[in-house]
Amino acid sequence: MLSSVRICLPSTTLRASLCHGCRGGAPVRGMGWSPRLVTQCKCEISADPSSDNPRVLITDMGGIDIKKPPLEVFNSGPFVYADVLDYKNLRELVVNNRITWLVHYSALLSAVGEANVTLARTINITGLHNVLDLALENCLRLFVPSTIGAFGPSSPRDPAPDLCVQRPRTIYGVSKVHGELMGEYLHHKYGLDFRCLRYPGVISANTKPGGGTTDYAVQIFHDALSTGHHECYLRPDTRLPMMHIADCHRATVEFMQAPECQLSLRTYNIAAMSFTPEEVADEIRKHLPQLKVTYNPDAVRQTIADSWPVRFDDSNARRDWGWQPAYGLPELVTDMLCSIREKRRNSGLPVR
């Protein structure tokens, strides 16, 4: 499968301490987990976190199919199509563009993954190994998102702390726990600057839901402004952690910019709010009183949701690098309705 890879050249908004001190030591040969040579990376902390401009490669900013990127993505930096399973091509992109940070978003999400376990395993695990190898070889700062799906029914659910039992029951969750552990292992063993945030369900007006269990919380806004009716695949009382996309982006940038000495962990929970379908519908009705919501729980997604945390404990992120969300449920609903309404108007679509 081909997909999109975006390269962000030096930006004024993304400035951070970079990995200056990579001691390009002797390659580590014959490692069990990868046939490739891996350059040992011992990174030192830059004295001034704003001293350099990172050159950022973001895997996947497009859709799940082969398609043109949205214009704003295309215009905001060099954009190429690439497959995260094609290691040689990824390496060329990193080397030729002198990349210093890699943000790895490509993945198959929970519900889609359960429908295609083999593909999810390949993309989420083999693709991740390609990215880990590249980051290690090129001394990159590497960000990989994890998820509430990295927890399972035996994890504490209210709240889920950073460190606890993680026995997820989806291939998505298993691959994300694998990513957390591989990244932390390579950090401790070789000094890889691996950084991982466990995102809640991310809510954005700009992207279509990608096959996750929290998709309803995006779709309900589109339905509220188009047909006025949303059929929810979860029970009305299913509580899950959620976050506005602006908070998610800001958390990622702030975490990537944080000096290494501030990080007591390499994988952090981040939280903003937790709500149920019933609660978000009630909040939308404050703007659109006619919204009708019916419930038709889907066995696969309901089982997944029932195994996930209802709340995240993100106290370590708040303490270590100052994480603080800006959006609660009322702000999220107001912003989503406003943004989607404007998009529909601009596309000539009717608006409620």
Ligand X SMILES: NC(=O)c1ccc[n+]([C@@H]2O[C@H](COP(=O)([O-])OP(=O)(O)OC[C@H]3O[C@@H](n4cnc5c(N)ncnc54)[C@H](O)[C@@H]3O)[C@@H](O)[C@H]2O)c1
In the stretch 235-274, what mask flags binding to ligand X with x, by CB under 6 A?
----------------------------------------
Residue 201, both tokens: 């369900």
Complex with ligand X: residue 2 or 14, whichever CB lies closer: 2
Residue 52, both tokens: 């350099």
Q: Please select the residue that binds ligand X; options are 83, 254, 279, 283, rule is CB under 6 A.
A: 83
Instruction: Give 96's contacts (C-beta < 8 A, 6+ positions apart).
Output: none
In the stretch 107-136, what mask flags binding to ligand X with x, by CB under 6 A?
x-x-------------x---x---------
How far is the C-alpha of 285 from the C-alpha of 159, rounded, in Å? 28
Only segment of 11-19, 199-207, 275-283, 306-314 that touches ligand X (CB under 6 A): 199-207
Bridge partner list, 52: 16
Residue 214 as a binder of ligand X (CB under 6 A): the answer is yes
Beta-strand pair 3-8/56-59: antiparallel
Please answer whether residues 175 and 124 qualify as being in contact, where contact means their C-beta atoms are separated by less than 8 angstroms. yes
Complex with ligand X: residue 17 or 170, whichever CB lies closer: 170
Q: Please select the residue that binds ligand X; options are 210, 236, 259, 297, rule is CB under 6 A.
A: 210
Complex with ligand X: residue 145 or 191, whichever CB lies closer: 145
Complex with ligand X: residue 145 or 277, whichever CB lies closer: 145
Complex with ligand X: residue 190 or 199, whichever CB lies closer: 199
Half-sphere exposure of 150 (CA within 13 A, CB side): 26
Coil, helix or strand for 28? strand
Q: Which of residues 26-65 bind ligand X (CB under 6 A)?
A: 59-60, 62-64
**Cβ count within 10 A of residue 347:** 7
**Cβ count within 10 A of residue 122:** 16
Residue 145 as a binder of ligand X (CB under 6 A): the answer is yes
Phi, psi of 293 (to 5 degrees): -125, 125
Residue 84 as a binder of ligand X (CB under 6 A): the answer is yes
Considering the candidates 81, 87, 105, 172, report the single residue annotated as catalytic.
Answer: 172
Q: Catalytic residue at 105?
A: no
Q: Which residues of 263-274 are buried (b: 16+ CB within 10 A; e: fewer)?
A: beebbbbbbbbb
Residues that bind ligand X (CB under 6 A): 1, 3, 59-60, 62-64, 83-85, 105-107, 109, 123, 127, 145, 147, 199, 201-202, 210-212, 214
Among all residues, which ones are annotated catalytic? 172
